[in-house]
């Protein structure tokens, strides 16, 4: 078994290389299913490290699997690298200032440039230590595109990409260090495309049938539906085509995109069908036709206490990132733009003793397996967690209180503190993976827990088999 000094020397030697990788992906800021250069950077380094790489996984050009080792157990480490639209910011700016350097206007407002890089580094570390120890087993790095609004892992799951894993590990950049121990909401996203009839809005309005009216009536109907949904359900929408900019034309075409969330897949499916019925009613009221285009979906996240305890032991052993005084001073520059509500939300799950007064969270959040909490958001890691036991950690990479999907998060993405948090996540992931490879009986216990949760049910992908990948569909425009 390698010593702590051996492991530390490995990360010391690789630190600069992977900080550079993360920064290059931050600069690229590619959106869902368009992460061509980001994926290529990962693939190139993984091949240099001796991994066997399979590209175009599940028919997705930016999805890949890199594998090292032989035989079982097989441990997967999940990585992401997609950005968010319209979130470009200058690196290190403490005021909202869109970047002139990033020409596409996108930004890494959820830290996926760090997420994929730490997971990649962890897989390389596991490969190195497997070879050093002569252990049987296989480590895989999964290059997973389109977590933001694309459910890339769900499409990969539909094609069986995770079926032979013994466990999956992942992480997320955050403002705290600890275990990700909450469930999440299942979701379904779909386009509602209304087709009416154009006419002159003044001379012959009676001859027109307004698709925009249908969109507006659907939105009104769904807003009334909110009173009659389960309390943990959510419905969001965005008008993606209002039919043009000429008010003297009755709009013949309009489109709205809906995202429906609920606690589990059957609940989300039931609520989605009610939303579809509202759309059909809106079409009937306006004399329009409606086309419903299923875009994507993902399952709720299943927690696994067996894996969680293993990962938590390594989080506590390794501790928080080793932030310096300079890191804290830099982070303090963001405090003026972080509201009291942001601070309260960041400390909500920590308990009073761990509410953090310093610019960067320097502790480790406690883990209570008996405490059931829900994240009122969604992640396509949920689908992986239904297929194989899955555990996730968080590490502090940003000033405490920094809201997700914000300009502040983009701005901090290349700072030294972000790199320290990324490296700490890689160490936690690698240590957890090696622990599982050395102790296969723990994996059997984790699988038994997952089977008990599923209660005899097999995983059913929430994306139907006939739904094409989003980039293969025709645009509504």
**Pairing mode, if any, of strands 52-55 and 64-70?**
antiparallel
**Is residue 48's pLDDT more than 60?**
yes
**Is residue 124's pLDDT more than 80?**
yes
**Is residue 32's pLDDT more than 90?**
yes
Q: What is the enclosing helix (H) or strand (E) of 191?
A: strand 186-195
- Residue 369, Cα to own-chain centre: how many angstroms? 23
Q: Tell me how far apart the alpha carbons of residues 311 and 305 are, in angstroms, rounded to a whole number.
A: 10
Question: pLDDT tens digit string along 270-313?
Answer: 999 999 999 999 999 999 999 999 999 999 999 999 999 999 99
Angstrom CA distances, 139 to 39, 60, 462, stand at 18, 21, 27
CA-CA-CA-CA torsion sign (99, 104, 107, 108): negative
Taking alpha carbons only, the member of 242, 279, 296 closest to residue 470 is 296
Question: Phi and psi (nearest 5°) for 434?
Answer: -65, -40
CB atoms within 10 A of CB 282: 25
* Start-end of CATH 3.40.630.10 domains in the chain: 4-184+300-454
Q: What is the enclosing helix (H) or strand (E) of 395?
A: strand 390-396
Angstrom CA distances, 198 to 47, 214, 254, 392, stand at 56, 13, 11, 52
CATH superfamily of 4-184+300-454: Zn peptidases (3.40.630.10)
> So what's the architecture of 186-297 in CATH?
2-Layer Sandwich (3.30)
SS3 state at 187: strand
Confirm whether pTM is higher than 0.85: yes
Mean pLDDT of all residues belonging to the chain = 94
Give the pLDDT band (50/70/90) at residue 352: very low
SS3 state at 362: coil
Give the pLDDT band (50/70/90) at residue 136: very high
Taking alpha carbons only, the member of 70, 245, 205, 78 closest to residue 145 is 78
Residue 384: exposed, middle, or buried by beta-carbon count in 10 A (0-12, 13-18, 19+)? buried
Residue 352: exposed, middle, or buried by beta-carbon count in 10 A (0-12, 13-18, 19+)? exposed
Give the pLDDT band (50/70/90) at residue 142: very high
Question: pLDDT tens digit string along 430-474?
Answer: 999 999 999 999 999 999 999 999 998 889 999 999 999 998 886
Question: pLDDT tens digit string along 80-121?
Answer: 999 999 999 999 999 999 987 777 899 999 999 999 999 999
pLDDT of residue 476: 43
pLDDT of residue 415: 98
Question: pLDDT tens digit string along 149-183?
Answer: 899 999 999 999 999 999 999 999 999 999 999 99
pLDDT of residue 211: 98
Q: Tell me how far apart the alpha carbons of residues 397 and 341 are, in angstroms, rounded to a whole number.
A: 20
Question: pLDDT tens digit string along 390-422?
Answer: 999 999 999 999 999 999 999 999 999 999 999
Buried b (16+ CB within 10 A) or exposed e, 205-232: eeebbbbbbbbbbbbebbeebeeebeee
> What DSSP character marks residue 470?
G
pLDDT of residue 356: 54
Taking alpha carbons only, the member of 300, 302, 304, 296 closest to residue 158 is 296
pLDDT of residue 474: 65
Question: pLDDT tens digit string along 238-272?
Answer: 999 999 999 999 999 999 999 999 999 999 999 99
* Start-end of CATH 3.30.70.360 domains in the chain: 186-297
pLDDT of residue 353: 42
């Amino acid at each position: 078994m390698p010593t702590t000094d051996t492991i530390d020397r490995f990360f010391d030697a690789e630190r600069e290389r992977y900080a550079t990788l993360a920064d290059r992906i931050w600069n690229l800021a590619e959106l869902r299913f368009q992460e061509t250069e980001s994926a290529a950077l990962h693939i190139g380094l993984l091949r240099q490290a001796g991994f066997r790489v399979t590209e175009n996984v599940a028919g997705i050009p930016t999805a890949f699997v890199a594998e090292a080792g032989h035989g079982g157990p097989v441990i997967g480490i999940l990585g992401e690298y997609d950005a968010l639209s319209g979130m470009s910011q200058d690196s290190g700016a403490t005021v909202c200032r869109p970047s002139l350097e990033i020409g596409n206007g996108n930004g890494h407002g959820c830290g996926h440039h760090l997420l994929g890089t730490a997971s990649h580094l962890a897989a390389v570390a596991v490969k190195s230590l497997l070879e050093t120890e002569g252990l049987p087993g296989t480590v895989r790095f999964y290059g997973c595109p389109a977590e933001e609004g694309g459910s890339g892992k769900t499409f990969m799951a539909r094609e069986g990409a995770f079926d032979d894993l013994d466990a999956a590990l992942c992480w997320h950049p955050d403002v705290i260090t600890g275990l990700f121990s909450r469930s999440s909401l299942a979701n379904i996203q779909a386009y509602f495309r209304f087709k009416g009839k154009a006419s002159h809005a003044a001379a012959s309005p009676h001859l027109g049938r307004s698709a925009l009216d249908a969109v507006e009536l659907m939105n009104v109907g769904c807003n009334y539906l909110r009173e009659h949904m389960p309390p943990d359900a959510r419905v969001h929408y965005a008008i993606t085509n209002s039919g043009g900019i000429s008010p003297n034309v009755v709009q013949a075409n309009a489109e709205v995109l809906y995202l429906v969330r609920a606690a589990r897949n059957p609940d989300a499916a039931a609520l989605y069908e009610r939303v579809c019925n509202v759309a059909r009613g809106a079409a009937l009221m306006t004399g329009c036709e409606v086309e419903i285009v299923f875009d994507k979906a993902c399952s709720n996240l299943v927690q696994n206490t067996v894996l969680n305890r293993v990962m938590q032991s390594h989080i506590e052993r390794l501790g928080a990132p080793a932030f310096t005084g300079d890191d804290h001073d830099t982070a303090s520059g963001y405090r003026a733009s972080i509201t009291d509500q942001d601070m309260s939300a960041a400390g909500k799950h920590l308990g009073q003793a761990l509410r953090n007064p310093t610019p960067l969270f320097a502790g480790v959040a406690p883990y209570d397996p008996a405490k059931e909490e829900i994240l009122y958001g969604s992640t396509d890691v949920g689908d992986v967690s239904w297929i194989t036991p899955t555990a996730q950690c968080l590490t502090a990479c940003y000033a405490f209180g920094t809201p997700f999907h914000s300009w502040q998060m983009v701005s901090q993405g290349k700072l030294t503190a972000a790199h320290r948090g990324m490296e700490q996540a890689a160490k936690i992931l690698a240590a957890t993976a090696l622990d599982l490879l050395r102790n296969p009986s723990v994996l059997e216990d984790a699988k038994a827990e997952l089977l008990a949760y599923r209660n005899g049910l097999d995983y059913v992908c929430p994306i139907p088999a006939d739904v094409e990948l989003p980039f293969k569909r025709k645009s509504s425009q």
